[in-house]
């Protein structure tokens, strides 16, 4: 009986994977990988067998029950199996179902954390998800329920919606219904973490305009404080680095 390590590949390019994740890949006998993981990650596991179990929304993909069964089967036949998931495995990655399947089969598992798309989008646009005095809370939400219903909430200063790219116009209406003011800033980023990432600024009311730009691309939508452009610090409140009290104390 082998072991399964869930490795979070990060969104986009291969070098967003963690050092621990890369080390796990290097030791793997088998890698079961998601659709959006960078093919360049194969360089970290040259001796492993790679099995495509990719899942994509709104199109044909591997059923979750089949993935669970494949994980159990491969772990029963090999010493180390890596389940390579895009983004962070714990964020909308169907991780719980796979962990349960392994636990029921008596198979040991480990989870390696990683970078999720919301963080990659914030980094790409240099817009922190939390803002001092304005954005104290962040919510990560899947726009689509398991029943295919589009939902939106207003439960935090910043809301990040995953898997909404094909329904931006409908999301705009849902956001208004949830109580977001029409002029609330909205940031749409598609293929966050990739070299061809695209970002566009909108408001809740004008979000439908983003549909064509991000069409066919995995998109995260940030609403609220974390979507706003950087605010300028008033000149009379700034100090040069040399004038900072900490610097002055260290130089004494």
pLDDT over 90 (residue 145): no
Catalytic residue among 85, 88, 157, 163: 163
The distance from CA 165 to its chain's CA centroid, rounded to whole angstroms, is 14
pLDDT over 50 (residue 132): yes
Nearest partner of 224 among 141, 135, 144, 151, judged by Cα: 135
pLDDT over 80 (residue 144): no
Catalytic residue among 34, 38, 88, 157: 34
**For the segment 154-194, what is each residue's pLDDT rounded down to a tens digit?**
999 999 999 888 889 999 999 999 999 999 999 999 999 99
**Coil, helix or strand for 211?**
coil
Catalytic residue list contains 212: no
pLDDT > 70: percent of the chain:
89
Give the per-residue pLDDT at 232. 56
Which H/E stretch holds residue 102?
Answer: helix 95-104
| Structural domains of the chain, ranges and CATH numbers in brackets | 3-115 (3.40.1010.10), 118-227 (3.30.950.10)
Catalytic residue list contains 73: no
pLDDT over 60 (residue 248): no
- Kindly indicate the confidence band of residue 251, based on its pLDDT and cuts at 50, 70 and 90: low
pLDDT over 90 (residue 39): yes
Catalytic residue among 38, 55, 88, 157: 55
- Kindly indicate the confidence band of residue 252, based on its pLDDT and cuts at 50, 70 and 90: low
Nearest partner of 118 among 33, 12, 39, 5, judged by Cα: 12
Between CA 250 and CA 252 the distance in angstroms is: 6
Highest mean pLDDT among 15-19, 133-137, 144-148: 15-19
pLDDT over 60 (residue 128): yes
Catalytic residue list contains 34: yes
Mean pLDDT of 103-120: 97
């Amino acid at each position: 009986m082998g072991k399964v390590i869930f490795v979070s590949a990060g969104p986009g390019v291969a070098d967003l994977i963690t050092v621990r994740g890369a080390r796990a890949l290097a030791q793997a006998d088998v890698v079961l990988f998601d659709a959006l993981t960078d093919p360049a990650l194969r360089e970290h596991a040259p001796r492993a067998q790679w099995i495509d179990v990719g899942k994509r929304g709104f199109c044909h993909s591997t059923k979750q029950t089949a993935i669970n069964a494949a994980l159990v089967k491969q772990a029963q036949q090999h010493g180390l199996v890596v389940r390579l998931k895009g983004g962070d495995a714990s964020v909308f990655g169907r991780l719980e179902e796979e962990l349960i399947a392994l636990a029921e089969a008596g198979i040991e598992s480990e989870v390696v954390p990683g970078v999720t798309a919301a963080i990659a989008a914030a980094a790409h646009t240099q817009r922190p998800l939390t803002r001092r005095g304005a954005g104290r809370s962040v919510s990560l939400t899947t726009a689509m329920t398991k029943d295919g219903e589009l939902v939106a909430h207003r439960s935090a200063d910043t809301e990040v919606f995953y898997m909404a790219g094909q329904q931006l116009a409908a999301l705009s209406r849902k956001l208004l219904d949830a109580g977001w003011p029409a002029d609330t800033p909205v940031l749409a980023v598609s293929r966050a973490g990739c070299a061809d990432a695209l970002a566009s600024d909108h408001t809740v009311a004008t979000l439908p305009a983003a549909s064509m730009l991000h069409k066919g691309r995995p998109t995260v939508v940030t609403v609220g404080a974390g979507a706003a452009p950087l605010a300028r610090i008033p000149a009379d409140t700034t100090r040069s680095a040399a004038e900072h009290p900490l610097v002055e104390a260290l130089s004494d």
